[in-house]
Amino acid sequence: MSDILLSVRNLSLHYPLREGVLKAVDDVSFDVRRGETFGIVGESGSGKTTLGRCIMRILNPTSGEVIYRGDPRGETDLVGLSDSELREIWRQIRMVFQDPQSSLNPRLPVLELIGQALRTSEGLSGKALADRVAQLLKDVGLRPEILHRYPAAFSGGQRQRIGIARALATSPQLVIADEAVSALDVSIQAQILNLLQDLQEQYQLTYIFIAHDLAVVEHICDRVAVMKRGRIVELADKRTLFDNPQHEYTRSLLDAVPIPDPRLRTRGTRQPVA
């Protein structure tokens, strides 16, 4: 089995404008290794969300390939798949969103928010469904008694834990987290990042972790791609990128990082970048 789970090849999404074309994603290529956390960073508008959505086929790229090797039957180019084929892929590749407030339907209790996918894909209901959801809640550090509560009852951090449990419900191989901690207080961010790391081991997950905040990326990622205007301008191991950035844009991103929060720092010290 290849140690590469996902290969993005020459992926582009171009939006025609009245004058010219906006290259939201422009000829992007990279590999994601099984079990790693692959970071995508860049300032707002650099194309990170568009890239994540093209990989998931929530958006249709203009050109390129997304080769997925999570299926034991062989590799698949997600770009060519029909809607019904995508439904199976969407169980194996899941997303965690920035804002759990708006991504969790306020009218549904936790049991349904997390359990819906299990109802439809595995036909679970009743006690079997409640038991599975309760186990997922425990795994994300929430009490199983909250099954019948609604999103409004929870804090931002708790809601994001519910969002993570929902992503894990279908036992995915790959989780794409788009600014998953950006809306949270820094102390809560650290808790959620640590939870994601624990779950990665427990569930043997591969992550694509999208963020504009380099401190967050430094905490959790193994390798990092830096995006600027739809293109990847630098791709390196996390330590190499932070200690010895090659591209001027990466250096300017690092310079823009405010005083590092000690709670988000793990190992190593950042070298002066000037």
* Only segment of 31-39, 43-51, 102-110, 229-237 that touches Mg ion (CB under 5 A): 43-51
Nearest residue to Mg ion, by Cβ distance, number only: 49
Closest CB to ligand ADP among residues 50, 158: 50
d(CA 235, CA 179): 19
Asked if residue 41 binds ligand ADP (CB under 6 A), the reply is no
Closest CB to Mg ion among residues 147, 183: 183
CB neighbours of residue 120 within 10 Å: 12
**Residue 48, both tokens:** 């990170």
d(CA 71, CA 2): 11
**Residue 8, both tokens:** 């993005």
Asked if residue 50 binds ligand ADP (CB under 6 A), the reply is yes
First to last CA, the chain: 43
Closest CB to ligand ADP among residues 49, 158: 49
Backbone φ/ψ region at 49: left (φ over 0), alpha (ψ -120 to 50), beta? alpha
Q: Which of 2, 4, 21, 22 binds ligand ADP (CB under 6 A)?
A: 22
Asked if residue 250 binds Mg ion (CB under 5 A), the reply is no
Q: Which of 1, 18, 44, 82 binds ligand ADP (CB under 6 A)?
A: 44
Closest CB to ligand ADP among residues 60, 269: 60
d(CA 109, CA 152): 10
Asked if residue 21 binds ligand ADP (CB under 6 A), the reply is no
* Only segment of 48-56, 159-167, 251-259, 260-268 that touches ligand ADP (CB under 6 A): 48-56
* Only segment of 37-45, 110-118, 160-168, 182-190 that touches ligand ADP (CB under 6 A): 37-45
Q: Which of 36, 37, 46, 49 binds Mg ion (CB under 5 A)?
A: 49
Give how many residues touch ligand ADP by CB under 6 A.
11
Q: Which of 46, 158, 189, 250 binds ligand ADP (CB under 6 A)?
A: 46
Among Mg ion, ligand ADP, none, what binds residue 152 when CB lies within 5 to 8 Å by partner kind?
Answer: none
Among Mg ion, ligand ADP, none, what binds residue 15 when CB lies within 5 to 8 Å by partner kind?
Answer: ligand ADP
Among Mg ion, ligand ADP, none, what binds residue 109 when CB lies within 5 to 8 Å by partner kind?
Answer: none
What is the binding site for Mg ion (CB under 5 A)? 48-49
What is the binding site for ligand ADP (CB under 6 A)? 15, 22, 24, 42, 44-50
